[in-house]
Structure 1
Amino acid sequence: MKDGFIKCAVASAQVKVADCLFNTQTVLQLMRQAEKEQVRLLVLPELVTSSYTCADLFLQQSLQTGCLEAVAAIVEESKDCELLLVFGSALVVEGNLYNCAVVVHKGVILGVVPKQHLPNYQEFYEKRWFCTPRDGNREITLLGQTVWFGTRLLFQNVEIREFVLACEICEDLWVPDSPGIGYALAGATVITNCSASDELVGKEEYRRSLVAGQSAKLVCAYLYSNAGEGESSTDLVFTPHNLIYENGLQLAQSYGISNTLLITEIDVQKLALERIRMQTFNADRSAYRTISFSWKVGTCSLTRFIDKAPFVPSDEANRSERCEKILMLQALGLKQRLAHTQSKSVVVGLSGGLDSTLALLVCVRAFDLLSLDRSGIVAVTMPGFGTTKRTKGNAVQLAKALGVELKTISIAKAVRQHFKDIGHDPAVLDVTYENSQARERTQILMDLANSLNALVVGTGDLSELALGWATYNGDHMSMYGVNASVPKTLVRHLVKHVASQSDPELKKVLLDIAATPVSPELLPASSDGTIMQVTEDIVGPYELHDFFLYHAIRWGFGPQKVYRLASLAFAGEYDDAFILRWMKTFYRRFFSQQFKRSCLPDGPKIGSLALSPRGDWRMSSDASYTLWKRELDTL
């Protein structure tokens, strides 16, 4: 439960039609198993105390009494459980029979939510037995308890305030104006669905798409429990199908399995933070009644998948599709800028590294989209004091393979003159030594672009912008930055993706570039030509920084939670001390380097996170990171 994680489960209970005694024992067994697994929320199917397919037996007093006795037994069993249980049962309330979701915790019936939309078409005849509830809430007496009954009930945890639960029942999800919409707008972050959806050809996929869409548009966790084995097969077949989604993402699914808990953890803190960001969940909540309950708060062990590369799809097919989409978005952005400025030429600094390679590949795509001759792309390699034979050679081969113009302009003489002008000792390999080279290269690109009536295309990526790993008014500046929202961990995959579609000559050079260590090459290479200035040795692994960036900035998590997630995601690869060391570097640099992001050139957004001051990220350059540092210091 710490950090907003709640261990939850759904299950399809095996039932016998109209046998409330058998069904009760099944429910109790699942409850005990869930409590043993430290589950805090368990959702069971619609009408589980009786089974869904009782038909006209629902009108028999014996079955109605059996359902009530089943509820009583479940409530009694819950007295010593931390478990919050949501299950379906038929209940007589004030002389009418309702199809209900019952919410129980520690021997208390927190509330009863009647099904609002009763299907009465094709194979469904629910209005034959059940009453449609009137809108609103009222208090009733049930099993000697005063209980809230109604269509506008929310259940909120006292300790984890972001956990606010609401209940839909089967058809409530399928209708155009589902109750979940109102629940979510009123504050519900978790919606459960006790369901009995029969199985038909294609229905499994449709059911899954409904749950995915509902959880995405409502920015909620959605827990769906379908009827299990034992339902009548007179005219229908029921197949267990359990789903747990969070904001459109499937966390867990089981199909065809009864009496087995489907367990994962939902992150209600993440959902609450996303809603704060969106500012669309601010509807009038006065019509809804919130019922509070308490949990013992402890650390929830995490079993849900934590992706150590959140910007990179792990599935090869999905990754290839994502790469193609990103390349097209980058190219479309540049295409529009070229068309608007009526430019038929671009200048790009080509180092033989990953970022400049990607930028050049985007230029080629944009020119092809505009049916412009690739000779209008001027790639400029500018060898300096740290340039290696490998990177320079790759730059030359790449330009040749792509059919673009290549210019080679050495910066050594100009930089030495600059050192002399400002009185800098070239033997002192400090920040002045490095940045003078970066700014000289940018000056060459800008002036060359002016002479050609061209645009300078920037090469810097999202990860470098987050860390401020760019020379201010050097490689930090361009006329259009095509890589500005592409994280470093994705750049390599984009280059490899193009390689996979290329002829042997181009493929060979692209793969070698992808295998080259990331380096600005501003310090002299070793005597054997090996790169001496490896970026990740200085600022830390980019896969860690991209992970920090995603969770800290995209989702707004605090350092403690980011650290916890990173420790789990990179377990066995990096130890905790190593992760913490580079986390501190990330936060320190992210706050201190905002001034560079405050004056970024234009560039296209391609994913859910960008740092443009005109788009996703507005931040004072003087913001203090004291609060974040204080939290880091406790780790």
Structure 2
Amino acid sequence: MKDGYIRAAVVSPRITVADCAENARVIGRWMEQAEGKQAGLVVFPELCLTGYTCGDLFLHQTLLDAAESALETLLKESRGFDAVMVVGLPVRRTKLYNCAAVLHRGRLLGVVPKTYLPNYAEFYEQRHFTSGVRAGGTVTLAGQEAPFGTDLLFACENLPDFVFGVEICEDVWVPVPPSCRLALAGATVIANLSASTQVAGKAAYLRGIVGTQSGRCISGYLYAGSGEGESSTDLVFSGHLIVAENGRILEEREGGEGMLAADLDMQLLAEERRRTTSFGAEGEAGGCRRVPFRLTPVRYAPLLRLVGRHPFVPPEGERYRERCKEVLDIQTAGLAKRLAHTRAKTAVVAVSGGLDSTLALLVAHRAIENAGLSCAITAITMPGPGTSGRTRGNADALCRSIGATLKVIPISGAVEGHLADIGHDGSPDTAFENAQARERMQIAMDVSNMEGGIVVGTGDMSELALGFTTYNGDHMSMYGVNAGVPKTLVRHLIRYVADENAENTLLRDTLYDILDTPVSPELLPAKDGDIPQKTEQILGPYELHDFFLYYFLRFGFSPEKILRLAFLAFADAYEETEIRQRLADFLRRFFAAQFKRSCLPDGPKVGSVALSPRGDWRMPSDAVARAWLNRLENAGADAPGPAV
């Protein structure tokens, strides 16, 4: 439960049709395993105490008595388990209901009846069961009186963000599932007990429904499907298990008896709901009854959750290519609109041979080509005291590979004259460096005025976050196409373009050499033709800063939580002392650099994190980082990853 995580498990046990005592024994065995994994919530399938395929045996008192007796057995066993368990069984209450019983430490917390009863194709539940849509009050079951109804929320008192609701199988397949109401009323986790049959193509459809519903409800979603042991007279059950969170499938398995466990992030879900103002206030969907319980805090358990190093970078495969293309298309469309609107005769790009200017030039080329614009590209390289032969050569080759004309305008003389005019002795310092950046921007702006064009900005989101940009130098432009793209993603977009244009060998080879060139502003004199000023030696690795940026902005995580996630993600890459120091550097720089972001040029948002002062991020320029730095200083470093 540390850092807002709750470990949840979904189980598909091997059941025996109509043998409730044996099913209770099997379920108890799985509960022991879930307890060993320190799960806080364990969900079993629909009607798992009897088997879903009992047919007209559901109308027999003998089966119903056996199911209630099996529940009583599980209630007694649950006294030794800390986890909350949810099991399916038929429940008599004048009518017969298909229900989920919620058990915790010997107590029957509540019973939730199924709302939507399928009565088509292979399903005929209305033959035996009644919908629980109008049910309420209480029910006496296994010697205990408990709340009964579809309006129950089970709330953890010592982790207030952990509130779960229950729906059963068909309930999630309808146009407006009960989970929508439960989520609006405060449920951050939905448990679905299911007995969905296996037919060709259904698994993919179900995966989409579960993922989408978890995203729509901004919740965790636990799907436990029936599997082995159900009658195969006419049907097969796959034992499909899914754990999803806010539109993302965390874990999934099909086939055979088994269990899945994963850690759901309650803080993440609560923060996402707070910032999504259209989600609705708690209780908006009408009154729901809250049933409290408490979990014993878990002292430490390694996180059962993949924490990737590069949250801005899509996973490899087809999705990777689709995402890269989508980002480029957004940048391209934004710039094309601006070029057309301003009737620009040319797009002016200051090309250095580095990553950011390369991406900006590629986007400008795509925008003009895709939109069929008549404007040209004016690429300018402005070598100065720190320009290396490698970057100068790559700038030239890049322009030739896409058919752009390159203007070479040296700036050393202009910079020396300017520094002399202000009484500067020419020694390398901040003024020496920034004078070059501002001279380059002055040239680009003046050329754009002269040729009737606009200056396309090259700076990326990581530089804006860290303030590693010269105010009114590379910080400024007439349209910043890279403003929403973090440095780690810039590399992948360039690699994608290189791979997609393999037939253009000059372009491909040049792009790969640019990718291999150390990131540098090249503002200090070269040494023996080499680049002496390497950005990541100054700032630290961009992959760390992008990691911090994502979790700081996207979810508002505390420094302690970001630190622990970083320890886990980069355990074999960096020492913990370096990660801690770089996070402190990030926080100091991020707060100090807000004045540069407060006056950003226009530029397109491409992902869920953006820094535009007109859009996603509004922050006073004189805010201080003290509270964040204090929390980071006090954060323990005794564990390599978050405890649940």
What's the TM-score once normalised by structure 2's chain length? Answer: 0.96
Deviations 1:356-401 (A, max 9, x none): 0000000101111232457x10111001111001111111111122
Deviation for aligned residue 1:119: 0.9
Deviation of 1:134 after TM superposition, in Å, equals: 4.3
Distance in 1 (CA, whole Å) between partners of 2:242 and 2:625 is 40
Match of 2:405 in 1: 405
Tell me the amino acid that sits aligned with residue 324 of structure 1: K
**By how many angstroms is 1:285 displaced?**
5.5
Partner of 2:510: 509
The secondary structure found in structure 2 opposite 1:485 is coil
Counterpart residue number, 2:328: 327
1:510-529 counterparts in 2 under 5 A? 510-526=511-527, 528-529=528-529
> Which residue number in structure 1 is paired with residue 68 of structure 2?
68
Matched, 1:210 2:209: yes
Matched residues, number? 630
Partner in structure 2 of residue 457 of structure 1: 456
Paired with 1:136 and 1:631, the residues of 2 have a C-alpha distance of 48
Counterpart-to-counterpart distance in 1, 2:320 and 2:123 = 43
Distance in structure 1 (CA, Å) of the matches to 2:308 and 2:500? 27
**Is the CA contact 2:181–2:285 (under 8 Å) kept in the aligned structure 1?**
no
Partner residue of 2:270? 272
Aligned to 1:485: 484
Q: Distance in 2 between matches of 1:340 and 1:143?
A: 72
User: Aligned partner of 2:472: which letter?
Assistant: N
In the TM superposition, what is the alpha-carbon distance from 1:136 to its structure 2 partner?
A: 5.5
DSSP-derived class of the 1:42 partner: strand
1:610–1:616: 8 Å Cα contact kept in structure 2? Answer: yes
Give runs of aligned pairs for residues 29-40 of structure 1, distance below 5 A.
29-40=29-40
- Which residue of structure 2 aligns with residue 120 of structure 1? 119
CA contact (8 A) 1:137 1:153 kept: no
Structure 2 counterpart of 1:250? 249
Instruction: Output aligned runs, 1:40-439, within 5 Å.
Output: 40-93=40-93, 95-135=94-134, 137-258=136-257, 260-279=258-277, 280-282=279-281, 283-284=283-284, 286-298=286-298, 299-372=300-373, 376-427=376-427, 429-439=428-438
Per-residue deviation, 1:175: 1.0
Distance 1:452 1:344 in 2: 7
Q: Deviations over 1:193-219 (max 9, x none)?
A: 000011111111111111011111111
Q: Which stretches of structure 1, 4 residues or more, deviate above 6 A after TM superposition?
A: none
Q: Does 1:440 align with 2:428?
A: no
**Offset at 1:311?**
0.9
Instruction: Single out whichever of 619-628 and 182-191 deviates more from structure 2.
Output: 619-628
Distance 1:520 1:590 in 2: 19
In the alignment, the residues of structure 2 paired with residue 594 and residue 169 of structure 1 have an alpha-carbon distance, to the nearest angstrom, of 49
CA distance in 1, matches of 2:489, 2:327: 10
- What's the RMSD between the two structures over aligned residues? 1.2
SS at match of 1:82: coil
Whole-angstrom distance in 1 between the partners of 2:320 and 2:98? 45
In 1, distance between residues paired with 2:474 and 2:512? 24
In 2, the alpha carbon distance for the partners of 1:610 and 1:49 equals 50
Match of 1:619 in 2: 619
Distance in 2 separating the partners of 1:347 and 1:198 = 60
Distance 1:39 1:371 in 2: 58
For 2:345 and 2:40, the matched residues in 1 are separated by: 62
Whole-angstrom CA distance in 1 between matches of 2:315 and 2:200? 30
In structure 2, what is the Cα distance between the partners aligned to 1:505 and 1:301?
48
Between the aligned partners of 1:421 and 1:583, the Cα distance in structure 2 is: 40
Report which stretch shifted further, 279-288 or 294-303.
Answer: 279-288
Q: Does the CA-based 8 Å contact 2:12-2:227 persist in structure 1?
A: yes
| Counterpart Cα distance in 2 of 1:602 and 1:355 | 17
Change over 3 Å in CA distance of 1:598–1:75 after alignment to 2: same
The aligned residue for residue 563 of structure 2 is 563
Distance in 2 (alpha carbons) for counterparts of 1:552 and 1:360: 30
Q: Is this contact kept in 2: 1:460–1:484, CA < 8 A?
A: yes
Q: Distance in 1 between matches of 2:379 and 2:128?
A: 76
Deviation at 1:317, TM superposition (A): 2.9
Counterpart amino acid of 2:566? A
Aligned partners of 1:187 and 1:281 also within 8 Å: no
The aligned counterpart of 2:641 is none
Q: Which amino acid aligns with 1:307?
A: G
- Is the 8 Å Cα contact of residues 6 and 300 (structure 1) preserved in structure 2? no
Amino acid at match of 2:586: F
Moved more, 432-441 or 321-330: 321-330
Give the residue type in structure 1 aligned to 2:597.
R
Query: Any idea what SS the aligned residue of 2:443 has?
Result: helix
> Which residue number corresponds to residue 537 of structure 1?
537
Q: Aligned equivalents of 1:538 and 1:107: distance in 2?
A: 59
- 2:572 maps to 1:599: no
C-alpha distance in 2 between matches for 1:23 and 1:504: 65
Q: By how many angstroms is 1:422 displaced?
A: 1.0
Distance in structure 2 (CA, Å) of the matches to 1:82 and 1:571: 31
**C-alpha distance in 2 between matches for 1:127 and 1:202:** 26
Q: SS of 1:238's equivalent?
A: coil
The superposition leaves residues 221-246 of structure 1 with CA deviations (integer Å, 9 ceiling, x where unpaired) of 10000012111112211121101111
Indicate the larger mover: 228-237 or 296-305: 296-305
Which residue of 2 is the match for residue 498 of structure 1? 497
Matched letter for residue 4 of structure 1? G
> Match of 1:53, SS?
helix
For the 8 Å contact 1:345–1:452, the answer to whether it is kept is yes
Question: Which runs of 5 or more structure 1 residues have no equivalent in the other structure?
Answer: none
Cα offset, 1:345, TM superposition: 0.7
Q: Distance in 1 between matches of 2:400 and 2:186?
A: 59
Deviation by residue 1:532-572 (Cα, 9 ceiling, x = unmatched)? 10000001100000000111111111110001011000011
- 1:109 and 1:303 map into 2 onto residues whose CA distance is 28
Whether the aligned pair in 2 keeps the contact of 1:7 and 1:300 (CA below 8 Å) is no
- What is the distance in 2 between the residues matched to 1:281 and 1:74? 38
Greater shift in the superposed pair: 61-70 or 305-314: 305-314
Determine helix, strand or coil for the equivalent of 2:379. strand
DSSP 3-state at the match of 2:621: coil
Between the aligned partners of 2:356 and 2:478, the Cα distance in structure 1 is: 16
Conservation of the 8 A alpha-carbon contact between 1:496 and 1:510: yes
Separation of aligned partners in 2, 1:222 and 1:586? 34
Secondary structure of the structure 1 residue equivalent to 2:137: strand
Q: What is the distance in 1 between the residues matched to 2:192 and 2:317?
A: 34
Question: In the alignment, residue 512 of structure 2 is paired with which amino acid?
Answer: L
Which AA in structure 1 matches 2:368? F
Residues 332-341 or 229-238, more deviating? 229-238
Cα gap change, 1:136/1:630 in structure 2, threshold over 3 Å: closer, same or farther? farther
For the Cα contact (< 8 Å) 1:380–1:407, is it kept in 2?
yes
Deviation at 1:314, TM superposition (A): 2.8
Q: Distance in 1 between matches of 2:242 and 2:317?
A: 25
Shift of 1:278: 0.1
Asked whether the 8 Å contact 1:136–1:287 carries over to 2, the reply is no
